[in-house]
Structure 1
Amino acid sequence: MTRHLSDLLADVRSGTDPGPFALLRREGTDLVEVLAGTAHQVDRLADIPLPPGPATRPATLAVVPYRQIAERGFACIDDGAPLECVRVSAYQQVPVATAMAALPAAPVVTTRGGFDITDDEYAELVATVLRDEIGGGAGANFVLHRTYRARLADGASATADGQGRSAALTAGLSALRRLLRDERGAYWTFLIYTGTRVLVGATPERHVSVSDGLAMMNPISGTLRHPDGGDPDLDSVLSFLADPKEVDELYMVLDEELKMMATVAEHGGQVVGPYLKRMSRLSHTEYLLAGRNCHDVREVLRQTMFAPTVTGSPIENACRVIARHEVGGRRYYAGVLALLGHDDAGGQTLDAPILIRAAEIGLDGDVRVPVGATLVRHSTAAGEVAETHAKASAVLAALGLSSRSASSGASGASGAFGAPGAVPAPESGVAAPVTRPEHPTVARALAARNDRLAEFWLRQRSPGAMVEPALAGRRIVVVDAEDSFTGMLVHLLRALGLRVRIVAWEQTARVDLADADVLVAGPGPGDPSDLTDPRMVALRDVVDHALRRGQPLLGICLGHQVLADRLGLVVSRRQLPFQGLQREIDFFGVPRRVGLYSSFTAHGTDDLLSTAHGPVQLCRDAADGAVHALRGPGFAGVQFHPESVLSQDGLQILRELLTAILPPGAAGTLIRQSSAECGRAGTIRYGGSASRPTG
């Protein structure tokens, strides 16, 4: 069935309700897809309808609010925003130029525009989170949002003749036309009308997609504001690519999305990139992650709620921080749009961009443009305030609004670093190039980003190729202390041939851990000395029991800190947090480049420590005595994350430590996870036991 664009627009002009519909242009095409159908509200992602149907059109378009994160048990301010679906019954594709010629071109008139919290209030919020949350060990990065609010001048309350609905749709369609004309590099440029609201925007970022059984994610971070009227010059781009804040920001979200890929991809995913993504007013850096998926696409959505680029890391604690500090619910900001369907072979498909750089227009004339900034240890309050203005600028401009001059302070000549220079799309709707050959110097600067990263995540991996014979088939239990780095760790351990089981920290008192060949006290957020935190009490009990019975034990990050404390070392808060920091350390006489995510550390005054559990060798920082690693008879600990993409030799470090702490013995039978097991939402099994999902 076809519902023509002209019919929908005629209904809008006449004040008739056209029924739920969507117009969207996906990256790399010169077509606008027109979808129409019936509206449904569902409670859970698993309830999104995905009926069998032809591959010639999508089956369902879902609009997923941020509050859906509660499905994973994570904290949120519940604002009641519903999960809305449009079950597609009519589908059409039209050229962009044809759509633009049909869309209304009248200016959008609004009143009473402004952010819900002032620049000064947002700056104070940034400073508080940097000091208390990142500085206090709650996580590596956090995203806090604010919302630009305005009113449509002709957006009266919805009446019997549909005046409010018509005003909202006309404003949204006019904004869509301007975005199709002026924006470039967007993953989706879209308008969605659910029957209850209008969403319009140009999101730069794919969150997750599934096609041909391949799951893909697209972490984007780092923001370069363009000068008015063009692209930045070469020096500005190179300065941006070398900026430690921007580099660290992308590495942190890369690690965080690899954690998510670890739950939905059979072998954890492979990293491709980085690339420079140019839009009309901003440029970003991005990676692409890909891995073979064997889950229902609705489960993929659930396991990957929501992107670290709009929440933070580790994600569970990031959700707590967001709920503590934001002034209200996020509604649809940081959620996803999700287009579900089937391919020619009947396999499920998914295309889900992040819901950012968008406006929500209510049928009562209320306009909301939410926007956020990523806070990392290098952040400044003024810089993050400016970033929110810059990110909101394209959508605000499409609505005839401006928060202020978002590009002030940028410099450089237009088009100086590309070949050839890109220009905004002309009125005809013929799009500016989404990609173009990079300037050789820019290409080299981008490629250099990977020189010090872990090849484990950058290369295709053949099953069994990395197995360590001394470890093959040995049973290992990882205690998950609320950091989904655990999911990445599992893939490294399995690559070495170990049989892995994950046990959540709150389950440790009820599960027999003594039968494992090795016990791992895993990473997590927080202060290891805070015994009012039940997580710390549980980890301390795990470490104490393992030491008493002589069970081989490895502590990672938080687990290492607890182990160091039980061995008699002093653990204290760092003066400056090491969150998403790569450093080269002397790892027991061998230089190793590792990734650190911590605000606390153990300190030692000598390289050898005498303990009740035997002599312990310390790997210490020469400057301040911070303990990067320790090893003793049957146990070891590392302050860094060997599983991180920042730990260049992480796999080898795990190989060395585990073979050293394990007593010689017959290895078990190597068991590889089957495709059928992979369908169980990330459950890892050994010996017939199953843990909770690894996300």
Structure 2
Amino acid sequence: MPDALPTRLTAPDPPPFALLHRGNRAVEVLIGSVVTVDAVADIPVGPSGSVALLPFRQLAERGLPCHDDGTPLRVLVADERHTVDLESLPHPTSAPVRDAGFTTTDAAYADLARRVRDEDLGVDVTHCLLRRDFSARLEPGAAVGLFAALLRAETGAYWTFAVHDGTRALVGATPQGQVRLRDGEVVLRPTCGTYRYPPSGPEEAGLLAFLADRKESDELTATVDAELALLCALEPDAITVDGPLLVPMGTLAHTACVLRGRGGVDAHRALAGTMFASTAIGAPLAGALRVIEAREPTGRGYYGGAVALFEPNGDLDAATLIRTADLDPSGRLTLSVGATIGADSDPDAEAHETHHKVAGLVRALQGPSHARPAGGGSSAATRDATEPDHTGTPPPAVPHSRTGTPAAPRGDVGAPGTTPHPRQVSGGAPVPPSTLRVAEALARRREEFGAQWTTPAGPVPDLGPLLVVDLGHPAAWTLAHLARRLGWRATVVRVADVDPARLPTTVLCGPTTDPRSRVARDRLRAVAERRGCRVHQVDAGFRPDAVRADPDALAELLGAR
């Protein structure tokens, strides 16, 4: 590290900077100037790259509902870039932490979760993540120290980072990769499910029970389906699904899948088209967002958005802004976390789950005595086995009997049951048992996935043109992708933009739960059938596009079998 760099970053008035630890022993330091832009397409790429902070309200670019709280899209345009060793960072020291705790009680959060479960879930919303906020007061200028502390206290993150834009700073250890573009390949990492280690460390019996839990499996599948639709909308030439697999972290492990698409997408389009990870929203995306807008009284700021590194060569690496502290100039820290509510949710357990989500930050705030040593092991001494109280103050980690609620993937990952990729484990993260029984449990979960997602496409006949009518459900793009695998030359057109005079012989109407879209669909169907077209329809309850669907389901629907 250049001798003057630590002094520059920890000065009372530092330049805008980013510290990025992306799964190896090095930390990237970017320094430059900050600009505010309106849209992802406007993000400039500096000579040394750019780091963009995308607020949750950026979803409005995609026409999706969200509170407009005015949080800006800020971009650090770097003209300096350094790579430094972890040991070169200032060593974290204990600092005063005041007024720490959740801003709402567990009882209030559980009541909200109960109302969402009982009143809001249905065909158009199967899962929804509800936010709550944890706050504390630190000394001003704490970003670099908190970053260094998180590197030692929270293991296994996809990114650990600090981005200071000249006024505020975001500091986090996020397990969720948003999107990566490298050498023409787009990668998404949907994740759902949390196995919380007991005080003695991860155990085979508990891990097997977690992997056999149908609720956990269904939540991951819903998340994969939602992000498959985003990837399909980018129209890559080919898509494959890897997983499910385990992503171990300091006090828990997650399940994840890796979605890969190849061909024809640039960095700005890849990021704009995948806003944002369903891990922090729910599924289906639009329905979950409507619930969030109705149930959360304020905007989310940057929570659930993304931090993205644009490279000068056109590559992109972005992480989801979860497990991320927002520090204002006065030292006020806000950390938003949440639990995903499904039909089988236990509201009290979901409230307890949020305590686990802040555990890494709490350990970091408590100082070096609670941090896991870099490269060291895990021990029971680093975990507090105390149950949370109901005043909103979490312990560093809270074991709980229920295994559940979504988290996030990180890094490149291998096949089910294989040894984790080096990016999956950093520092002293305890690795869950990699036994034959665990590998078999993961393989059984993978067997539920349709072959259309797990095997390459072979040669297919030309079945002719196919119009897929988009009725407002993202599954239209997934259906088009699968139809191309069968041999159709599929295009997707919004129902309002369909030209009745140019209809092909075969038309497929995507799913919808919107009564207005059903009316438009029925009108189009009547016109198309009068013109001699074959019109097929996907009802909301029938999902031939889902990752678990029979590979022949769509072919049978279209009469290609």
When normalised by structure 2's length, the TM-score is 0.86
Partner residue of 1:88 out of 57, 78, 83: 78
- Quick one: distance in 2 between partners of 1:436 and 1:97? 28
1:172 positional shift:
2.4
Map 1:533-544; keep pairs closer than 5 Å.
533-544=515-526
- Aligned mates of 1:182, 1:512 — CA distance in 2: 60
Q: Does 1:62 align with 2:52?
A: yes
| Distance across 1 between alignment mates of 2:523 and 2:471 | 13
Of 469, 473, 490, 1:500 maps to: 490
Instruction: Tell whether 2:407 aligns with 1:407.
Output: no
Q: Do structure 1's residue 335 and structure 2's residue 301 form an aligned pair?
A: no
The offset of 1:133, in angstroms, is: 2.2
Residue of structure 2 in register with 1:24 after alignment? 20
Q: Secondary structure at the match of 2:559?
A: helix
Contact 1:24 1:189 (C-alpha < 8 Å) held by counterparts: yes
Residue of structure 1 aligned with 2:105, choices 105, 113, 118: 118
Q: Pick one of 166, 187, 190 that aligns with 1:216.
A: 187
Larger radius of gyration: 1
Paired AA for residue 553 in structure 1: V
1:216 partner SS:
strand
Question: Do the aligned partners of residues 293 and 125 (structure 1) sit closer, same or farther apart at CA in structure 2, a change above 3 Å counting?
Answer: farther
Is 1:458 matched up with 2:480? Answer: no
* Aligned residues between the structures: 520
172, 178, 187: which one pairs with 1:207? 178
Partner of 2:554: 654
Any conservation in 1 of the 2:243–2:258 contact (CA below 8 Å)?
A: yes
How far apart are residue 497 of structure 1 and its match?
Answer: 2.0
Show structure 1 runs of 5+ residues with no match. Answer: 155-166, 413-417, 422-428, 527-532, 559-597, 599-639, 662-695
Amino acid of the residue matched to residue 558 of structure 2?
L
Counterpart of 1:450 in 2: which secondary structure? helix
**Quick one: which amino acid aligns to residue 125 of structure 2?**
G
Per-residue CA deviations over 1:45-73 (Å, capped at 9, x if unaligned) read 1111125x4xxxx4111111111111111
Superimposed CA distance per residue, residues 218-260 of structure 1 (whole angstroms, 9 cap, x where no aligned partner): 11110122224x5221111111111111111111111111111
| Residues in 2 aligned to 1:81 and 1:515: alpha-carbon distance in whole angstroms | 43
Alignment of 1:77 with 2:79, yes or no, is no
Q: Deviations over 1:567-620 (max 9, x none)?
A: xxxxxxxxxxxxxxxxxxxxxxxxxxxxxxx4xxxxxxxxxxxxxxxxxxxxxx
Aligned residue type for 1:10: T
1:314 pairs with 273, 284, 294, which one? Answer: 284
Distance in structure 2 (CA, Å) of the matches to 1:84 and 1:458 = 38
Identity %: 35
Question: 1:554 matched to which residue of 2?
Answer: 536
Structure 1: how far apart are the matches of 2:120 and 2:501? Answer: 32
Q: 2:467 aligns with which of 477, 484, 487?
A: 477
User: Match of 2:316?
Assistant: 350
Q: Distance in 2 between matches of 1:142 and 1:47?
A: 31
Instruction: Kindly state the Cα deviation for residue 280 of structure 1 after the two structures are TM-superposed.
Output: 0.8
Aligned equivalents of 2:98, 2:355: Cα separation in 1: 18
Task: Give SS of 2:289's match.
Answer: helix
Q: Are residues 384 and 499 of structure 1, via their aligned partners in 2, closer, same or farther at CA, if it must alter by over 3 Å?
A: same
Deviation at 1:121, TM superposition (A): 1.9
CA pair 369-129 structure 1, distance change in 2 beyond 3 A: same
Q: Which runs of 4+ in 1 moved over 6 A?
A: 418-421, 433-437
User: Could you tell me how far 1:365 is from its partner in structure 2?
Assistant: 2.1
Higher-RCO chain (CA-CA 8 Å, sequence separation at least 6):
2
Partner in structure 1 of residue 131 of structure 2: 145
Distance, in Å, in 2 between the alignment partners of 1:126 and 1:482 is 27
8 Å contact kept, 1:187–1:202: yes
1:270 maps to 2:270: no
The SS at the match of 1:449 is helix
Report the residue type matching 1:123 in the other structure: A
Deviation at 1:655?
2.2
Q: 454, 479, 501: which one pairs with 1:489? A: 479
* CA-to-aligned-CA distance 1:484-505 (integer Å, 9 cap, x gap): 1111100111122222232323
TM-aligned CA distance change 1:38 to 1:125, over 3 Å = same
Cα distance change on mapping 1:279 and 1:292 into 2, 3 Å: same
**CA spacing shift, 1:317–1:506, aligned 2, 3 Å:** farther
1:379 aligns with 2:375: no
Alignment partner, residue 615 of structure 1:
none
Q: State the AA in 2 paired with 1:466.
A: V
How has the CA–CA distance of structure 1 residues 14 and 312 changed in structure 2, closer, same or farther, with 3 Å as cutoff? closer
| TM-superposed deviation, 1:361 | 0.6
**For residue 33 of structure 1, what is the amino acid of its counterpart?**
E
Alignment partners' CA distance in 1, 2:11 and 2:507 = 68
CA distance in 1, matches of 2:10, 2:271: 36
Work out whether residues 233 and 411 of structure 1, in 8 Å CA contact, stay in contact via their aligned partners in 2. no
Distance in 2 of aligned mates of 1:188 and 1:91: 17
Letter in 2 for 1:31: A
CA distances 1:26-51 after superposition (whole Å, capped 9, x unpaired)? 12x11111111111111111111125
Deviation of the 1:76 alpha carbon = 0.9
Q: Tell me the distance in 2 between the aligned counterparts of 1:73 and 1:332.
A: 18
Is contact 2:203–2:433 with CA below 8 Å preserved after alignment? no
Aligned-CA RMSD value: 2.7
